[in-house]
Every structure is written in structure tokens, then in C-alpha cells.
């Protein structure tokens, strides 16, 4: 991942957010595959779409070097001072919806 730019405090907070976001992203990919496998709809086309969608999200989100981007975009949901588990589950569901819409 790219090095973040911002004040020391911003970078520290953004790194925490990005770490949580990465976990959500990876969990959503697993859930996406499970959703299709459970319905016996997993095939090469779906796998290709997941890889392409993942790459787009990688570029749009994880290749961003602005600490401010992570704080302003995801800071309220991935706030280290709040309970994260409920937010994480919500974001896994939202990310799964993004993947499903790509097909």
C-alpha cells in the first residue's frame, strides 16, 4: 500500500482506518464467493468479475495516499473510539452489495 500523506495524527488515524477497511474488503470478497457457491452459481465468469471488481476497488481506495481521504470518507464508520464490530459487519454487507452489482 502507498505511504500516507498528512499530519502525524492524521496518518496514524488513517492507518487504523485503512487496516480495518482492508479487513472488511477481504471479508467481503470471501462472502461474495460464498454467496455464489451456496447458490451453485460460482464459475469462471463470476471469478473474473470478482478479480476485476477487486482491482477497481484497490485502485480507488487503497492506492490513495491522502490520510484526509480515509478520515473524511470512512472515519465515522471506522472510528477507533467507537465499537467497530457492528460497523465492520455493515461495511462487509455494503461491500458485498458492490460486488454483486458488478455482475
Burial class (CB within 10 angstroms; exposed 0-12, middle 13-18, buried 19+) of 37: exposed
**Length of the chain (residues):** 103
For residue range 30-49, what is the model confidence (pLDDT) as tens digits? 888 888 888 888 888 888 88
pLDDT band at residue 83, thresholds of 50, 70 and 90?
Answer: very low
Question: Half-sphere exposure (CA, 13 Å, Cβ side) for 83?
Answer: 4
> pLDDT tens, 42-75?
888 888 888 888 888 888 888 999 999 999 888 8
Model confidence pLDDT, tens digit, residues 13-36: 999 888 888 888 888 888 888 888
Q: Percentage of the chain surpassing pLDDT 90?
A: 20
Amino acid at each position: 500500500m502507498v505511504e500516507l500523506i498528512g499530519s502525524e495524527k492524521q496518518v496514524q488515524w488513517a492507518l487504523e482506518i485503512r487496516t480495518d477497511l482492508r479487513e472488511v474488503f477481504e471479508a467481503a470478497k470471501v462472502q461474495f464467493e460464498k454467496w455464489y457457491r451456496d447458490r451453485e452459481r460460482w464459475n469462471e465468469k463470476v471469478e473474473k468479475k470478482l478479480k476485476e471488481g477487486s482491482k477497481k476497488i484497490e485502485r480507488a481506495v487503497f492506492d490513495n495516499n491522502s490520510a484526509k481521504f480515509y478520515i473524511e470518507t470512512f472515519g465515522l464508520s471506522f472510528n477507533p473510539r467507537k465499537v467497530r464490530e457492528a460497523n465492520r459487519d455493515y461495511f462487509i454487507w455494503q461491500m458485498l452489495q458492490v460486488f454483486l452489482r458488478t455482475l
